[in-house]
Amino acid sequence: MKIIVQKYGGSSVADAEKIKNVALKISKKVKEKNKLVVVVSAMGKTTDNLIKLSKEVSKTSIPRELDMLLTTGEQVSASLLAMALNDIGIKSKSLNAFQAKIMTTGDYMQARIKNLKAKRINDLLKENEALIITGFQGITEDDEIKTLGRGGSDTSAVALAAALNAKCEIYSDVAGIYTTDPRLHPGAKKLKYITYDEMLEMSSLGAKVLHSRSVEIAKKFGITIYCGSTFSDEEGSYVMKKNIEQPIVSGLSVMDHQTQVTLSNLPVDNNLVQQIFEKVAREGLNVDMISVISNAGLNISFTIVEEKKSSIAKALNIILKDMKGFNLHYNSGYSKISIVGIGMKSSSGVASRFFKALEKVPLTLVTTSEIKISCLVEEKFKDKAVKALVTAFEL
């Protein structure tokens, strides 16, 4: 019995016709003697609509109840897909997080899968040809429902593939992984291969192809993820350990609505730096592009998404409440642009090509890692910068 784990995103199951189309896609693989475990997202805009409804009802929408609310979306699409499969003669059952025993840990709205009791799924696969699992969600030992964060269904799929020792295929309305977002830049090229590390940099940089936690799990367990289109048979992309083609730069990603936070003239104190980032982490705030320069005084700069500005201000005010003489600035309206490529490690001159390409764009902040260079630019310069980088690195 060969098991394939597939995942279909929200736009792939957006209406009755699309659900029937997915059922046909699944039935093809079943007829090739595979057993299928299929993870589904909520139909189309369901999650957004539920969030909208919660805002009409409640000002605060406490996370526990928001998770109770949102997880219904996947149960709807999973049961409908199971119906459609049974209709075309594929023996199939839907399972929610309670039934599939997807155990999570951590906070509401950002839980992490802890373990999967694969035995139950394996048992059910003996008497079914396809099991449809609600993505994006898990339960805790004390029966609380938690979600994995937006896009978390990818992570459900990869975790299932790891637990079941199965192939993993992720289908969406995009035919694979592109050098940059093809919806924004029609000239973007599709990659045949991309490594886990490149994909991780891309995901955490805002490329919406895969939930970054899913790539972490794939890397840990050595699962190759195939990303393809639900709506065509066009060959997609593989996320795997080695990039067979090894280009220097594989992709470019853009993240809008960034705020730069700058603290200057603080006393030179490494302990203080640590305290600041510890507090920020404890509050669950993701900061990026951290730059610390210690000279006559200590200067710290980092970026955060604009909507978290008030949360970060609250956290910083607590840490710095007894301190005087420093400056704190928040500058919004920035975009972060990054290029990523495993080939950078072994290739010289990438940074100089990067700066040369952007010589006419004012860069507010630049950070680098072994396989990534990111820069912060005012949003009005974004298109110019992207165009220059796409040309320079043939993306």
Q: Which two tokens stand for residue 109?
A: 């709205």
Q: What is the DSSP letter of 356?
A: H
Q: Does 56 bind a copy of itself (CB under 8 A)?
A: yes
Check binding of 263 to a copy of itself (CB under 8 A): no
112 lies in the site for a copy of itself, by CB under 8 A: no
- Asked if residue 185 binds a copy of itself (CB under 8 A), the reply is no
> Is the separation of the CB atoms in 141 and 101 below 8 Å?
no
Could you say which of 72, 122, 311, 347 contacts a copy of itself (CB under 8 A)? 72
Question: How many helices and strands in the chain, by DSSP H and E?
Answer: 12, 20
Q: Which residue has the tokens 């599709």?
A: 190
Task: Give the nearer residue to a copy of itself in terms of CB position, either 68 or 366.
Answer: 68
**Residue 99 CB, nearest approach to a copy of itself (Å):** 5
Residue span binding a copy of itself (CB under 8 A) among the ranges 83-91, 153-161, 257-265, 381-389: 83-91
Q: Are 16 and 110 in contact (CB under 8 A)?
A: no
Pairing of strands 298-305, 137-139: unpaired
Residue 65 CB partners (closer than 8 Å, separation 6+): 54, 58
20 belongs to the binding site for a copy of itself (CB under 8 A): yes
- Which residues does 250 contact at the CB level (< 8 Å), separation at least 6? 179, 191, 194, 198, 202, 243, 340, 341, 342, 343
Which of the residues 115 through 144 are near a copy of itself (CB under 8 A)? 143-144
CA distance 229 to 380: 33
Q: Least CB distance from residue 357 to a copy of itself, whole Å?
A: 49
Among 1, 28, 33, 57, binds a copy of itself (CB under 8 A): 57
Kindly state whether residue 11 participates in binding a copy of itself, applying the rule CB under 8 A. no
Is 62 in a helix, a strand, or coil? coil
C-beta closer to a copy of itself: residue 79 or 291: 79
Residue 50 interacts with a copy of itself (CB under 8 A)? Answer: yes
Give contact residues for a copy of itself (rule: CB under 8 A): 15-16, 19-20, 50, 53-54, 56-62, 64-66, 68-69, 71-73, 75-76, 78-80, 82-84, 86-87, 93-94, 96, 98-99, 143-145
